[in-house]
C-alpha cells in the first residue's frame, strides 16, 4: 500500500478511535451487551427484541434515508492516455478551481428483521488547476466526473439497549455487510499549450465491511464503519472508513439524525499501458455532514 493510502487510512482510523472514545464507558460494555443480546434473541422473536422500547417495536421493516454534504479533498496520482499527474487538492482548492462544482451524496438502507439492503452513492464533478506532472512537462488542469456507488446486503449481528442509557430513539446495532463498489470516471487533463486529454473508464470491486452505532445518551450516538475490497480483481485494493457523531431527535413521529464526522475513500486502479494507460491511485477524504430520516 502506498504511503498516501497508509497515512490517510491511519489518520481516519485515529478519527474513528477518537469518536469511539467519546463513549468509552459505553464501548467498554459492548461485548457483554452483545452476549446478552444474543441470549435474549434465542428466547424471543428477533423483531420484538430488536426494537424494544421504540415506537417501531412491532414493525420488522426499517428504512433510513440520508443526504450528505462531503467537503472532499483529493490526494494521489491520476492519469489519462499515458499522461500522469500528482494531485494534492484541499476542499478549498477544489471549491476555488472547479468551473462547475457539483457533489451529491446519499444513502438508503432497507431492512427486514436481521437482513438488509443498502445503496450508498456519490455523484460529483470536480476539478483543480495547475497540477504538476513529470519533470519537463507543463502543469495540467484536472477535471473529473465521478460516480461512486456502493450496494449490497447487510446482516444485523446484534441489536441491544445499552445499560444505563435512556434512549428511546435508537438501539445499539452492529452490522456486517458485503457488496460491490461501482466506479465510473470521466477524467480530463488539460496541459498548458498542449491538446486536451480525456478518458473514461468504469469498473466494479467487491467489498466487505462492518459498522457499529452506539448511543451513549438520550440523544447522542457514535457511528464507526469501514470496508476493504478490490483484492486485485479490478482495483488492487479499495477501502473506506467513516466516523460520525450523531444527534437523534423526533421529526413528525419519525427518528431524524443530524451527523457530523469524517470520511475517507482510497482506490488504487489502473488499466491499459503506454499511451492508453489510465491511472486512479487516489484518496478522497474530508469532513462529512449528514441528515437522516428513519421510517
Residues 12-29: pLDDT tens digits? 666 555 655 554 454 445
Kindly report the average pLDDT of the chain as a whole number: 84
**SS3 state of residue 39:** helix
SS3 49: helix
CA end-to-end span of the chain: 41
Within 10 Å of residue 29's Cβ, how many Cβ atoms?
Answer: 18
Q: pLDDT of 121-162, one tens digit each?
A: 999 888 888 777 767 677 888 889 999 999 999 999 999 999
CB 118 within 8 A of CB 109: yes
Closest alpha carbon to 225 in 200, 207, 237: 207
Residue 142 neighbours by CB under 8 Å, 6+ apart: 78, 85, 87, 127, 128, 129, 131, 187, 188, 189, 190
Distance CA 14, CA 263 (A): 12
Q: Which residues share a beta bridge with 125?
A: 102, 145
Dist CA 48 CA 30 (whole Å) = 21
For cell 475513500, the residue is 265
**Topology at the third CATH level for domain 3-294:** Lipocalin (2.40.128)
pLDDT for the residue 156: 98
pLDDT for 139? 81
Instruction: Give residue 205's pLDDT.
Output: 99
Record the cell numbers describing residue 92, joined without a space: 478549498
pLDDT band at 68 (very low <50, low <70, confident <90, very high): very high
For the segment 70-118, what is each residue's pLDDT rounded down to a tens digit? 999 999 999 998 888 898 988 888 888 776 566 789 999 999 999 999 9
Per-residue exposure over 149-183, b if at least 16 CB sit within 10 Å of its own CB, e if not: bbbbebebebbbbbeebebebbbbbbbebebebeb
Residue 37 has pLDDT above 50, yes or no: no
Could you tell me the pLDDT band of residue 50, with boundaries at 50, 70 and 90?
very low
Q: What pLDDT does residue 12 have?
A: 61
Amino acid at each position: 500500500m502506498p504511503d498516501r493510502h497508509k497515512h490517510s487510512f491511519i489518520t481516519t482510523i485515529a478519527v474513528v478511535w477518537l469518536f469511539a472514545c467519546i463513549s468509552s464507558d459505553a464501548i467498554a460494555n459492548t461485548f457483554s451487551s452483545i452476549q446478552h443480546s444474543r441470549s435474549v434473541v434465542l428466547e424471543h422473536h428477533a423483531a420484538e427484541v430488536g426494537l424494544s422500547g421504540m415506537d417501531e417495536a412491532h414493525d420488522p421493516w426499517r428504512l433510513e434515508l440520508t443526504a450528505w454534504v462531503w467537503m472532499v479533498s483529493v490526494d494521489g496520482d491520476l492519469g489519462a492516455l499515458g499522461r500522469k499527474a500528482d494531485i494534492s487538492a484541499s476542499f478549498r482548492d477544489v471549491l476555488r478551481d472547479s468551473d462547475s462544482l457539483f457533489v451529491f451524496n446519499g444513502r438508503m438502507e432497507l431492512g427486514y428483521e436481521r437482513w438488509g439492503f443498502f445503496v450508498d452513492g456519490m455523484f460529483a464533478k470536480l476539478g483543480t488547476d495547475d497540477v504538476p506532472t513529470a519533470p519537463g512537462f507543463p502543469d495540467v488542469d484536472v477535471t473529473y466526473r465521478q460516480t461512486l456507488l456502493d450496494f449490497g446486503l447487510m446482516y444485523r449481528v446484534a441489536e441491544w439497549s445499552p445499560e444505563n442509557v435512556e434512549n428511546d430513539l435508537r438501539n445499539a446495532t452492529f452490522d456486517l455487510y458485503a457488496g460491490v463498489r461501482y466506479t465510473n470516471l470521466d477524467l480530463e487533463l488539460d496541459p498548458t499549450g498542449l491538446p486536451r486529454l480525456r478518458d473514461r473508464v468504469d469498473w466494479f470491486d467487491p467489498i466487505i465491511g462492518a459498522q457499529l452505532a452506539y448511543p451513549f445518551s438520550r440523544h447522542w450516538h457514535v457511528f464507526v464503519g469501514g470496508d476493504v475490497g478490490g483484492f486485485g480483481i479490478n482495483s488492487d485494493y479499495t477501502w473506506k472508513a467513516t466516523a460520525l457523531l450523531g444527534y437523534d431527535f423526533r421529526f413528525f413521529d419519525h427518528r431524524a439524525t443530524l451527523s457530523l464526522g469524517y470520511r475517507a475513500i482510497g482506490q488504487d486502479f489502473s488499466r491499459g499501458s503506454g499511451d492508453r494507460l489510465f491511472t486512479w491511485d487516489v484518496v478522497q477524504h474530508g469532513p462529512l455532514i449528514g441528515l437522516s430520516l428513519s421510517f
